[in-house]
Amino acid sequence: MDPFDTCPSHSVEVLRAVVEYLTNHFRVVGLRELVARRHERVPLAAITFDDGWRDTYDVAFPLLREFGVPATVFVTTGKIGSYQGFWQQVLGDMFRHAVVQGDAAAAQTLRKLIGAPQDSQFTAAHYRQTVIQWKGLPRHERARKIATLLAEHPDDSPGPRCFLSVAEIKEMHSAGIEFGSHTVHHELLDACPADRLDYELAESKAQIEAIVGDRVESIAYPNGNFSELVVSRSEALGYQMGCTVERRRIGVRENVLTLPRVEPEWDCPWGEACFDERGFVMRIR
Ligand SMILES: [Zn+2]
């Protein structure tokens, strides 16, 4: 885990252990099949990836092929082919400059945007606190802060492309990977005005359908945030499955528009997967 990136991620070794565990203990199917068969007394599992990062193609896709298992990838359509991360990564880069490289100008810009005292010093913890605070800001206010940040410190050496390209999405889809929506702008949907909500849901769905030439039936709500309105509009606009980040197993009577999921943990001393009070918890050493 990068201390200046709040996006959950795992090493390829962890991913391999997870897929290995799942194939040994469950029948790994696509999300569509999992939902359709949730009443059966068969141990089924579906694998999902959020955001549409490029390493879903570079790292996960070959592994999924090796094990012969399907998966669903939830794509943020506004980021397809992008060289720039979400605002969390842009902010993380600025903190990294200030904290690790001792960039005084970057630190000064951050102090101004955060409203921190003149001589305050930053740590990785400040980065995580700021992400939490900025998540609660109105979209335009946050966008203004990020624009100021980029204007004062233009990124003149963009790194490698960090999100999936259209060609990669097409190739994965041809190989049996399902694609779902993760909105256009990774918006927290429960905080969106009604017209914005409909746009994020409908536009992302249309964009992915145009790329893969197939119906898009699922969505993963960014940050797991949803409300009654989010669910009803998702359903009205043609989604049949919605994924949250509530951590437990899918029940027989589950509302398929608010499906729970489990995220691999990797801090368990015995490196095992097990069941606990929350349901299935995977723990990787
Ligand atoms: Zn996301």
What are the pLDDT digits (tens) for 52-64? 999 999 999 999 9
Are 93 and 230 found together in one domain?
no
Are 235 and 108 found together in one domain?
no
How much is the pLDDT for 253? Answer: 87
Q: Are 187 and 222 in contact (CB under 8 A)?
A: yes
How much is the pLDDT for 196? Answer: 95
Q: How many angstroms separate the alpha carbon of residue 222 from the centre of ligand 1?
A: 5
In sequence order, the β-bridge partners of residue 241 are 218
Domain boundary among the residues 152, 184, 206 is at 152
Are 201 and 62 found together in one domain?
yes
The angle at the Cα of 185, spanning 143 to 114, to the nearest 5 degrees, equals 25
Would you state the structure tokens that stand for residue 142, as one six-digit string? Answer: 């946050």
Spatial separation of the C-alpha atoms in residues 259 and 224, rounded to whole Å: 10
Q: How many angstroms separate the alpha carbon of residue 161 from the centre of ligand 1?
A: 17
Are 197 and 95 found together in one domain?
no
When mean pLDDT is compared across 6-15, 96-105, 115-124, 272-281, the lowest value belongs to 272-281
Would you state the structure tokens that stand for residue 178, as one six-digit string? Answer: 């399902």
Q: Is the dihedral of CA 190, 193, 197, 198 positive or negative?
A: positive
For residue 285, pLDDT over 50 is answered with no
Range of the domain at 100: 87-152
Domain boundary among the residues 122, 152, 182 is at 152
In 3D space, the residue among 198, 174, 172, 173 whose CA is nearest the CA of residue 184 turns out to be: 198
Are 277 and 217 found together in one domain?
yes
Spatial separation of the C-alpha atoms in residues 21 and 117, rounded to whole Å: 49
Which is higher by pLDDT, 153 or 112? 112
Q: Where residue 31 sits, what CATH number does that domain have?
A: 3.20.20.370
Q: Which amino acid is at 245?
A: V
Q: How many angstroms separate the alpha carbon of residue 223 from the centre of ligand 1?
A: 6
Neighbours of ion ligand 1 (CB under 5 A): 50-51, 222
Which is higher by pLDDT, 26 or 273? 26
Are 200 and 78 found together in one domain?
yes
For residue 284, pLDDT over 60 is answered with no
The set of residues, in sequence order, having a beta carbon less than 8 Å from that of 189 and lying 6+ positions away, is 183, 197, 200, 201, 221, 222, 225, 226, 227, 230
Measure CA of the first residue to CA of the last residue in the chain; give whole Å: 14
The model carries a pTM of 0.87
Cα Rg for the chain, rounded, in angstroms? 20
C-alpha dihedral over 172, 178, 183, 188, to 10 degrees?
-120
Per-residue pLDDT of 195-227, as tens digits, reads 999 999 999 999 999 999 999 999 999 999 999
Are 224 and 240 found together in one domain?
yes
In 3D space, the residue among 250, 278, 281 whose CA is nearest the CA of residue 42 turns out to be: 250
Per-residue pLDDT of 55-95, as tens digits, reads 999 999 999 999 999 999 999 999 999 998 899 989 998 99
Q: How many domains does the chain have?
A: 2
